[in-house]
Amino acid sequence: MDGDPHEARVRALLRAHPDGPQLAEAPFVAVGGGAFNRCWRADTAEGPRFVRLAGEEARRLGADWDSELALLRIASGSRLAPAPLLAVPGAGLLVTEYIQHRAPVEAAAKPARLRRVGALLRAVHGLSSAGGIRLLDFATQAGKLEAELHRDAALDARLRTRAARVFARLHADRGDAVPCHNDVHDANVLDDGRRLRLVDWEYGGLGDPVFDVAGFASHYALDDEGIGLLLDGYGSGLDRARLREGCWGYDYVQWLWHRVAARVAGARGAESRAAAETLGVRLADGD
């Protein structure tokens, strides 16, 4: 452990949980966990386990760990996510089965990969809802993130005005809210050699499915051909014009998220500052 305070906290939380004392004594190996989370593989007699301790900063940025647990329960039942084994949502602790992940053979924007991701998202959006999953509206999330930022830049005002129009149009013709992940990119898509599964559901909820598809398209700046392949895998139900607006709206929320994340992370926020700058240019170009 070498004095790692995060690992010490996880072990203390596990010892205090009725199902956690044995896991608390297992060997831990650190694995990647994103900007605000700490993650480990715990090697137990029953096999490896994935252990995550989420940082409080993530909650400020829109994470909801109670909703995440409810989403994991329904998604894992359809083998679209790893099964949750133990959780203390109030503390950001989550333990799931460990997925032996293969690095993608295809790059994210290759045809076979795009079709597989599209099919994965269609399956997620077809899940039946369950209690405990929050309703999540991107316009509301944008407003919460905007409140964290100063509103004195002309670019900010112009983009906020456009965002209000985009979200209003998307809201006017949306269908029923469905289970959504809301952070779909290759770091969160695991391939065990047989199927794709999604991890890191802390920003998920019941919402507009356009933002899941738009999010993946935006992360990889897919062109019209790439979007077509993604939609081939997804199937019917998403209009291309609406998806283009969804891409702009998703980029706007990501722009706000990275700006707040850079402020929260302080000196560690260089990656988010760079992402915010890139997204700001893209949003302004599309204004």
Segment 192-205, tens digit of pLDDT? 888 999 999 999 99
pTM above 0.85, yes or no: yes
pLDDT at 1: 45
Going along the chain from its start, the domains and CATH numbers come out as 5-97 (3.30.200.20), 111-285 (3.90.1200.10)
pLDDT at 107: 64
Q: Per-residue pLDDT for 157 more than 80?
A: yes
Mean pLDDT over all residues of the chain?
Answer: 92
Average pLDDT over residues 115-119: 96
Alpha-carbon distance of 279 to 282, in angstroms, equals 5
Alpha-carbon distance of 93 to 75, in angstroms, equals 19
Average pLDDT over residues 133-139: 96
Q: Per-residue pLDDT for 105 more than 60?
A: no
- Residue the block writes with tokens 């490896």: 48
Q: Name every residue whose Cβ is closer than 8 Å to that of residue 222 and which is 6 or more positions away in sequence.
A: 109, 114, 216, 230
Q: Per-residue pLDDT for 95 more than 70?
A: yes
Average pLDDT over residues 140-157: 82
Q: Per-residue pLDDT for 287 more than 90?
A: no
Percentage of the chain beyond pLDDT 90 is 78
Q: Per-residue pLDDT for 184 more than 50?
A: yes
Q: What pLDDT band is residue 267 in, cutting at 50, 70 and 90? A: low
Give the tens place of pLDDT for each residue, 204-257: 999 999 999 999 999 999 999 999 999 999 998 899 999 999 999 999 999 999
Burial call 32-69: b when 16+ CB within 10 Å, e when fewer? ebbbbbbbbbbeeeeebbbbbbbbeebeebbbbbebbb
